[in-house]
Amino acid sequence: TLTRDELLKRVASQMSEKRFKHVLGVEQSALELADQYGGNLEKASIAALVHDYCKERPKADFLAYMTKCSYPVDLIKFGNEIWHGVVGADMIRDELGIHDEEILNAVRHHTTGAANMSLLEQIIYVADYIEPGRDFPGVDEAREKAKTDLKEAVAYETQKTLAYLVKKGVPIYSRTLETYNVWVAQLE
Ligand code: DGI
Ligand code: FE
Ligand code: FE
Ligand code: FE
C-alpha cells in the first residue's frame, strides 16, 4: 500500500494545482466530520485524497474503460461529471491498489449520493460540498448543518444540487434522483 506522501504525489500528478487544493480542503473537512461523527479518520483521509483522482481524465479513457468492463448503459450518455466518481472508483482500485470497498463506494457516490450511504460516504459527499475553498450561495448554511446534523447536511446538499441541475436543464443521472427521493422527499 502507498504511504500518504506517495498517495499525495500520485494524486497531484493527475490534476491542476487548483483542484489539488480542493482535494486537500476536502480532506480537512472530511477529517473534521469523521472526528465529530465517529468515522474512521484514515479512511476519511484516503477517500478524500482520491475522490477526484479521475476528474481530469480524457473522455476517451472513460469510454474505453466502460466498454471493457460492464456498466449500466444509461451511464454512457453522461460525461466526466458523473464518470469520475462512478467509473473513477474502479480506476482508482486498478491504478492505486485501493481495494477497501467502503473507500471505493465513498468515491463512487461522492457526486450523486446514493439511497443508502454509509457514514464514510456521507462524510465525503458533504466534505466535497463544504470544504474551505468552496464559495457559492448556500455553502455557509450547508456548513452550519454539517456541524449539527450530518444527515441534514446530506439532504440540504442533495436538494440544492438537484435544483441547480434542473435550473441548468442538464440530464439527471438516475442515482441522483434516487438520492433525492430518499434523502429529501423521504420516499423509502
Ligand atoms: O468534482 P467536484 O467538482 O469537486 O464535485 P462533484 O463531483 O460533487 O460534482 C461534479 C459536478 O457534477 C457538479 O457540477 C454537479 C454535477 N452533477 C451532480 N449530479 C449530477 C450532475 N450532473 C449531471 N449532469 N447530472 C447529475 O445527476
Ligand atoms: Fe468530484
Ligand atoms: Fe459533490
Ligand atoms: Fe471534489
Structural domain 4-136, CATH architecture: Orthogonal Bundle (1.10)
CA of 81 relative to ligand 1 center, distance in Å: 5
Residue position matching grid coordinates 494545482: 17
Cβ–ligand 1 distance for 43 under 6 Å, the answer no
Residue type, 136: F
ipTM over the 0.95 cut-off: yes
CA of 29 relative to ligand 1 center, distance in Å: 19
Report the distance separating Cα 1 and Cα 43, nearest Å. Answer: 13
Mutation test residue for ligand 1: of 62, 74, 111, the one with most atoms within 8 Å of CB: 111
Give DSSP secondary structure letters for 79-122: -HHHHHHHTHHHHHHHHH----HHHHHHHHTTTT--SS--HHHH
Alpha carbon nearest to ligand 1 atom 7, residue: 111
Q: What is the pLDDT of residues 79-93, one digit of tens each?
A: 999 999 999 999 999
Asked whether the whole model's pTM tops 0.95, one would answer: yes
Q: What is the dihedral of CA 49, 54, 55, 57, to 10 degrees?
A: 150
Q: What is the pLDDT of residues 24-45, one digit of tens each?
A: 999 999 999 999 999 999 999 9
DSSP state of 161: H
The number of the ligand 1 atom at minimal distance from the alpha carbon of 129 is 8
Helix (H, G, I), strand (E, B) or coil at 21: helix
**Residues near ion ligand 3 (Cβ under 5 Å):** 128
